[in-house]
Amino acid sequence: MQNTHTQDKHRKVGKSEQSAEVLGTLEGFTVKENWDRFFTIRGSDNAFEWYEDWSELQAPLLSHLPKPDSQIQPLRILVPGCGTSFLSEHLYDVGFKAITNIDLSEIAISDMLCRNACQRPGMKWQVMDITTMQIEDESFDVVVDKGGLDALMEPEFDGQSISSRG
């Protein structure tokens, strides 16, 4: 079995220019259609990692979570803005089985379902806007956000935010 981390690094390079173009506008991160185009360009077998890979995140992240086998009930984890990151898969594989992933992009969720439905049956995938989540209070014990909040921030252009520019 090839190292998925190594495969991911090689695939990032090939499509990075196209991906950057899609999200390179000021409004790129807040428009659903741009995310769908972004994930279509990247392809269904091509995970995308914001910031750091699992090898860098594993120790600091797991140090803040209880050990999976120390819980009477499984730790319920929400991953908002999951995209096609391997993060949820790695969390599942180290023992966290009750993971719900949400993303605005139907393309990303479809790709993730195809990649994980059989191997990781405890994970859930939902198309949902993280600014208008339809989730009951106290449904989750932990929220693991790797980059979703950054996508919500409205960039400024000449001192005006996008929403105020008409």
Closest among 109, 111, 99, 81 to 141, alpha carbons compared: 99
pLDDT confidence band for 149 (50 / 70 / 90): low
Residues 6+ apart with CB under 8 A from 41: 15, 18, 19, 22
The larger pLDDT score, comparing residue 33 to residue 61, is at 61
DSSP state for residue 157 in the 8-state scheme: E
User: Positive or negative, the Cα torsion across 91, 85, 128, 62?
Assistant: positive
| pTM listed for this prediction | 0.67
Model confidence at 24, pLDDT cuts 50, 70, 90, reads: low
Mean pLDDT for 12-41 is 59
**What pLDDT, in 10s, does the model give residues 115-132?**
899 999 989 999 998 888
C-alpha of 7 from chain center: 18
Report d(CA 70, CA 64) in Å as an integer: 14
Domain 4-164: give its CATH superfamily: Vaccinia Virus protein VP39 (3.40.50.150)
| Domain boundaries along the sequence of the chain | 4-164
For a pLDDT cut of 70, what percent of the chain falls above it?
Answer: 59
Using 50, 70 and 90 to split pLDDT, how confident is the model at 146? confident
- For the chain, what percentages of helix, strand and coil (3-state, to nearest 5) are there? 45, 15, 45
String of DSSP letters for 74-112: PPEEEEET-TT-SHHHHHHHTT--EEEEEES-HHHHHHH
Residue with tokens 């392809």: 43
At residue 69 the predicted structure's pLDDT band, cuts being 50, 70 and 90, is: confident
Q: Taking a C-beta distance cutoff of 8 angstroms, is the pair 162, 26 a contact? A: yes
CA torsion angle 155 160 164 166 (round to 10): -100
pLDDT at residue 84, rounded to an integer: 86
User: What pLDDT is recorded for position 1?
Assistant: 43
Which has more confidence, 24 or 51? 51
- Of residues 162 and 151, the one with the higher pLDDT is 151
